[in-house]
Amino acid sequence: MAQLLTVSEILYKCFIKEDRYKLMISGIGVTLKVSLVAVVLGVIIGFLIALCNLSKNKILKTIGGIYTDVIRGTPSVTQLMLIYFVVFAAIRWEKWIICAIAFGINSGGYVAEIIRAGILSIDRGQTEAGRSLGLNAKQTMVKIVLPQAIKNIFPALCNEFIVLIKETAIVGYVGLMDIQKAGDFIKSATFIPFAPLFATAIIYYVIIKVLNIGLKYIEKRLRASEIR
Amino acid sequence: MIKVVDLKKNFDKLEVLKGINEHIEKGEVVAVIGPSGSGKSTFLRCLNLLEDVTEGEIYVDDELINSPKADINKIRQKMGMVFQQFNLFPHLKIIDNITLAPTLLNKMSKEDAVKRAYELLERVGLKDKAESYPASLSGGQKQRVAIARALAMDPEIMLFDEPTSALDPEMVGEVLDVIKDLARSGMTMVIVTHEMGFAREVATRVLFMDQGIIMESGSPAEIFDNPQNERTKLFLSKVLNL
């Protein structure tokens, strides 16, 4: 039989009793560190895979093609579990690190396509101008194509970062206590679903809101050269 | 200075250049004219290997440039190229557009490169635009910067690929003036152009190309006043009697 609780009783049970707020806070830390490491890994992997996809070398092209195909063709929760329970079965690194690697690998597949499209969006004439001045292919890429491509792909990359942060909410599948899992845990312990899940939603929302403001600022700076 | 032997270029099955033989001496200003699709831009782009050559040989200063042994980046530093679409680097200020290659390729120190860039900008009349971004320039100004950028590498040869074709009519003059000035300074140049009056005035030699070969070659007077080839006559009658 449902017992009616006052708001303060609910808040007390969910967040104060047995120091449950600490669970949420440590969950925030876990989500942030998994996301941060995964974003960095994802960009590095994505960039390398994008170069493979754009390369004229058949082997590299095939590797890049298979990578993006498999990553984008399977659910991230399946990838996470495969990496955690199979690939890292014998390697007992800290749970959050394995999760960050899994998400980095996943994100890399998407970032690769974003970067590839960004590089292709730069007019061929830019490369030709660079090469005609005597720059080699790498110098042209680094000094001319990439700076322009980054500006074009920045909004899409931001979107990918945001999706990634929310995606990490599945780490509970391998038993890592992030924000989502903490909320879920409190829900199970207290039999009160509303407060912990609502708190979980608010925390994700605030993290992403703050990130968004920061990214918008950077984007504005990047566009400086377009001001007439 | 440039020697082209039996140059052929195919795009898949399409034969664009069907055997070009040409010798360009130091100090020559060669204007390449002809109908669109005649292969004149492709010919020019082959000269600094922006297109890879299907068959034949291209020598620059007696060095075979379309060989795997040739250091194409080094060779390109000797040949400035100016494009129809300017191709300025939009993320860099004008001054950085010009100094990028000389400093990156260790041709000169940053200070010298900046000094040289200002000299070149003065020469093309755009010194006050050094700190602007390309987006704020008109087409004619962009093309003049592009010429300055190519000159910053102190090339021995300048290649122009329809340098005024993308310009509004009132801006053509300012760009042609810069090119004329350059021609008078003794620079070896190859210019693909549709500006017949300009070709006649500035060129020491005119090549008429059609259907992937050089149909006729001669002094501007010979080509424009007394063309021998039927196709040259036909082409000129179309473009000169507008």
Between A188 and B40, where is the model more confident?
B40
C-alpha to C-alpha distance for B175 and B167, rounded to whole angstroms: 9
When pLDDT is averaged across residues A100-119 and rounded to a whole number, the result is 95
- pLDDT for the residue numbered B229: 93
Q: Tell me how far apart the alpha carbons of residues A85 and A151 are, in angstroms, rounded to a whole number.
A: 38
**SS3 of A129-193:** HHHHCCCCHHHHHHHHHHHHHHHHHHHHHHHHHHHHHHHHHHHHHHCCCCHHHHHHHHHHHHCCC
| Residue B181 pLDDT | 93
Contacts B87 to A, Cβ<8 Å:
123, 125-126, 128-129
Decide: residue A17, CB within 10 A, 0-12 exposed, 13-18 middle, 19+ buried: middle
Cα–Cα distance, B36 to B22 (Å, whole number)? 20
Terminal alpha carbon distance of chain B: 36
Candidates 3.40.50.300, 3.40.630.30, 3.30.70.1520, 1.10.3720.10; correct CATH number of A7-226? 1.10.3720.10
Helix (H) or strand (E) holding B56: strand B55-60
Q: What is the spatial distance between Cα A179 and Cα A172, in angstroms, rounded to a whole number?
A: 9
Q: Which helix (H) or strand (E) holds A115?
A: helix A95-120
pLDDT at B32: 96
CB proximity B89 to A under 8 Å:
yes
Give the number of A-B residue pairs with CB atoms closer than 8 Å. 74
The contacts of residue A211 (CB under 8 Å, 6+ apart) are A161, A162, A165
pLDDT tens-place string over residues B82-122: 999 999 999 999 999 999 999 999 889 999 999 999 999 99
Convert the pLDDT of each residue in B19-37 to its tens digit.
999 999 999 999 999 999 8
What 3-state class would DSSP assign to B238?
helix
Mean pLDDT across A41-54 = 95
**Percentage above 90 pLDDT, chain A:** 70
- Out of B81, B91, B101, name the one closest to residue A135 (CB): B101
- For every residue of B172-216, DSSP letters joined together read HHHHHHHHHHHHHTT-EEEEE-S-HHHHHHH-SEEEEEETTEEEE
Q: Convert the pLDDT of each residue in B51-71 to its tens digit.
A: 999 999 999 999 999 998 999
Token pair recorded at residue B92: 């860099």
A134 with B74: Cβ contact below 8 A: yes
Per mean pLDDT, which of A4-13, A219-228, B140-149 is the most reliable?
B140-149
B88/A134 Cβ within 8 A: no
Q: Which tens digits make up the pLDDT trace of B9-21? A: 999 999 999 999 9
The model carries a pTM of 0.83
Q: What is the pLDDT of residue A44?
A: 96
Contact A148 B104 (CB under 8 A): no
Contact A74, A48 (CB under 8 A): no
| CB contact at 8 A, B151 and B126 | no
Map A195-224 to HEC letters: HHHHHHHHHHHHHHHHHHHHHHHHHHHHHH
Q: What residues in chain A have their Cβ under 8 A from chain B's Cβ atoms?
A: 123, 125-126, 128-136, 139, 143-144, 147-148, 151, 225-228
Contacts of A50 (CB under 8 A, 6+ apart): A64, A111, A112, A113, A115, A116, A119
In this predicted structure, what is the pLDDT of residue A33?
94
Tell me if A134 and B135 make a contact (CB, 8 A cut-off).
no
Buried b (16+ CB within 10 A) or exposed e, B186-211: ebbbbbbbebbebbbebbebbbbbbe
Q: Answer whether residue A1 shows pLDDT above 50.
A: no
Helices (H), B124-168: 139-151
Q: Which residues of A59-86 are buried (b: 16+ CB within 10 A; e: fewer)?
A: ebeebbeebbeebeeeebbebbeebbee
Describe the strand order of the beta sheet including B14-24 as a list of residue ranges.
Answer: B14-24, B2-11, B55-60, B63-64
**Listed residue (A173, A157, A176, A24) closest to A96, CA to CA:** A176
Partner-chain contact B90 A132, CB within 8 Å: no
pLDDT bin (cut points 50, 70, 90) of residue A225 is low
Residues in CB range of B146: below 8 A, 6 or more apart: A129, B82, B83, B86, B87, B88
Is the backbone of residue B9 left (phi > 0), alpha (psi -120 to 50) or beta?
beta
Q: Is residue A215 pLDDT above 60, yes or no?
A: yes
Q: What is the pLDDT of residues B170-225, one digit of tens each?
A: 999 999 999 999 999 999 999 999 999 999 999 999 999 999 999 999 999 999 99
Among candidates A132, A135, A226 on the partner chain, residue whose Cβ is nearest the Cβ of B104: A135
Residue A2 has pLDDT above 80, yes or no: no
Among B157, B153, B89, B148, which residue's Cα sits nearest to residue B123?
B148
Helix (H, G, I), strand (E, B) or coil at B132: coil
Residue B9 is encoded by which pair of tokens?
Answer: 């270029």
pLDDT in tens, A122-141: 999 999 999 999 999 999 99
- What is the ipTM, given to two decimal places? 0.91
- For range A201-220, the mean pLDDT: 93
CA distance A13 to A6: 11
Mean pLDDT across A205-219: 93
pLDDT over threshold 80, residue A216: yes
Determine which of A26-30, A38-42, A108-112, B149-153 has the lowest per-residue pLDDT on average.
A26-30
Sort out which chain A residues have CB atoms less than 8 A from B105's CB and list them: 133-135
Task: Check CB contact under 8 Å for A143 and B100.
Answer: yes
Using the beta-carbon criterion (under 8 Å), do A228 and B136 form an inter-chain contact? yes
Q: What is the pLDDT of residue A227?
A: 56
Q: Do A133 and B76 touch (CB under 8 A)?
A: yes
The pLDDT-based confidence of A18 (bands split at 50, 70, 90) is confident
pLDDT at A69 over 90: yes
Residue B110 tokens, joined: 């940053």
Q: Average per-residue pLDDT in chain A?
A: 91
Residue A222 pLDDT: 82
In this predicted structure, what is the pLDDT of residue A196?
Answer: 87
> What is the average pLDDT across A216-220?
90
Cβ-based contacts of B150 with chain A (< 8 Å): 132-133
Q: Please tell me the predicted confidence (pLDDT) of residue A15.
A: 80
Tokens of A146: 């990439």
Residues of A in contact with B153 (CB under 8 A): 133-134
Tens of pLDDT along A180-189? 998 888 898 8
Q: What is the pLDDT of residue B232?
A: 94
Which of the four pLDDT bands, split at 50, 70 and 90, describes residue A19?
confident
Please give the pLDDT value at position B89.
97
Partner residue facing B50 (CB), from A131, A134, A144: A131
Residue A145 has pLDDT above 50, yes or no: yes
Residue B116: the pLDDT is: 95
Considering only CB atoms, which chain B residues are within 8 Å of A132? 48, 50, 76, 79-81, 83, 150
Q: What are phi and psi of B30, to 5 degrees?
A: -105, 120
B90 touches chain A (CB under 8 A): yes
- Which residues from chain A sit within 8 angstroms of residue B135, using beta carbons? 225-228
Ordered by start, the domain boundaries in chain A are 7-226
Neighbour tally for B128: CB within 10 Å:
10
Mean pLDDT of chain B: 94
Q: Side by side, which strands form the sheet with B188-192?
A: B79-82, B157-161, B188-192, B29-33, B205-210, B213-218
